[in-house]
Amino acid sequence: MATFGTLSDRLTETFRTLRKKGQLTPADVDGTVREIRRALLDADVALPVVKEFTAAVRERALGDEVNRALNPAQQVVQIVNDELIGILGGQQRRLQFAKNPPTVIMLAGLQGSGKTTFAGKLAKMLEKDGHTPLLVACDLQRPNAVNQLQVVAERAGAAIYAPEPGNGVGDPVKVARDGVAYATRQQHDIVIIDTAGRLGVDAELMKQASDIRKATEPDEVLFVIDAMIGQDAVNTAKAFQDGVDFTGVVLSKLDGDARGGAALSVASVTGRPIIFASTGEGLDDVEPFHPDRMASRILD
């Protein structure tokens, strides 16, 4: 994963300088924290997240609770590792299922963020675990969107509920509601609702997504965000949080050469866990997100 290349290199270099020191003076800690701050900002991590992160690292590196069994550089690496896991959400959060099926999972996000592709990835993952997901095509905005979901469903080997052309087209809320009812009748234990995205955040899109949410009462609302959008990630995530609210995040396009800022900001800014990471265009290019593994990857 190329995403964290530069950030990783910068942090490694900072720690290498630190390793040459026997003892850490407060000035050494400050210098290190300054380097970390610059590296995070250059990686497009949101400023409030950077501030909180560096304050926590500084406080702990200067504090008494540092592990005396480790040398100074190791101590700082350990602290940075812990704090990275913290901003990435702490513990791994798994997908939540309904007590009484079907479990309803709604996807939201900007157009092009990777929602439709992720719908197929999720369906495929769930099928491997013995589930029988139904994809519901509620993106009636783009002429080709329903068709695109049909292609993805076929590739995933999943069932799909889509409006017939000219029948029900134009009311995505009704399609969502009917889709859930259909899943119940046909005994699909999971419903994945793909919703419309726009190129930018807009009120109409939010209202539609919010109405679909109210009509289907999903167990999970997953916000899909393209890791490549850098600094915009935070504002987009906040807009979706205010407009629809979501229970978890899917980071997509982590295979790209984004600088990693979105990944490192979004959980912390929204307080919502990252549940999946998407790493390619293929339907198998997805994995559950583990904050600790991601932190190790960055500090590798």
> Which residues in this chain contact ligand GDP in the complex, by CB under 6 A?
109, 111-117, 197, 252-253, 255-256, 278-281, 285
* Nearest-approach distance from CB 299 to ligand GDP, in angstroms: 23
Q: Is 109 annotated as a binding residue?
A: yes
- Identify which of residues 33 and 119 has a Cβ nearer to ligand GDP in the complex: 119
Q: Are the C-beta atoms of residues 273 and 89 closer than 8 Å to each other?
A: yes
* Nearest-approach distance from CB 139 to ligand GDP, in angstroms: 7
Q: Is 14 annotated as a binding residue?
A: no
Q: Are the C-beta atoms of residues 100 and 159 closer than 8 Å to each other?
A: no
Report how far residue 158's alpha carbon sits from residue 2's, in angstroms, rounded to the nearest whole number. 31
* Nearest-approach distance from CB 222 to ligand GDP, in angstroms: 12
Q: Is 116 annotated as a binding residue?
A: yes
Q: Is 208 annotated as a binding residue?
A: no
Q: How many C-beta neighbours within 10 Å does residue 112 have? A: 15
Place of tokens 């026997």: 22
* Nearest-approach distance from CB 261 to ligand GDP, in angstroms: 17
- Identify which of residues 46 and 107 has a Cβ nearer to ligand GDP in the complex: 107
Question: In 3D, which of 234, 3, 209 has the Cα closest to residue 115?
Answer: 209
DSSP 278: E
* Nearest-approach distance from CB 153 to ligand GDP, in angstroms: 13
- Identify which of residues 197 and 248 has a Cβ nearer to ligand GDP in the complex: 197
* Nearest-approach distance from CB 150 to ligand GDP, in angstroms: 13
> Rounded to the nearest 5°, which phi and psi values hold at 267?
-65, -40
SS3 per residue for 91-157 = CCCCCCCCCCCCEEEEEECCCCCCHHHHHHHHHHHHHHCCCCEEEEEECCCCCCHHHHHHHHHHHHC
Q: Is the dihedral of CA 67, 72, 74, 76 positive or negative?
A: positive
- Identify which of residues 76 and 158 has a Cβ nearer to ligand GDP in the complex: 158
Q: Beta strands of 115-264 (E only): which ranges?
A: 133-138, 159-161, 190-195, 220-226, 248-252
Question: Burial of 106 by CB count in 10 Å (0-12 exposed, 13-18 middle, 19+ buried)?
Answer: buried
Report how far residue 149's alpha carbon sits from residue 137's, in angstroms, rounded to the nearest whole number. 7
- Identify which of residues 117 and 268 has a Cβ nearer to ligand GDP in the complex: 117
- Identify which of residues 88 and 254 has a Cβ nearer to ligand GDP in the complex: 254
* Nearest-approach distance from CB 196 to ligand GDP, in angstroms: 9
Q: Is 170 annotated as a binding residue?
A: no
Question: In 3D, which of 197, 200, 201, 225 has the Cα closest to residue 212?
Answer: 197
Q: Is 198 annotated as a binding residue?
A: yes
- Identify which of residues 14 and 278 has a Cβ nearer to ligand GDP in the complex: 278
Detail the residues annotated as belonging to a binding site for GTP.
109-116, 194-198, 252-255
Residues making up the binding site: 109-116, 194-198, 252-255
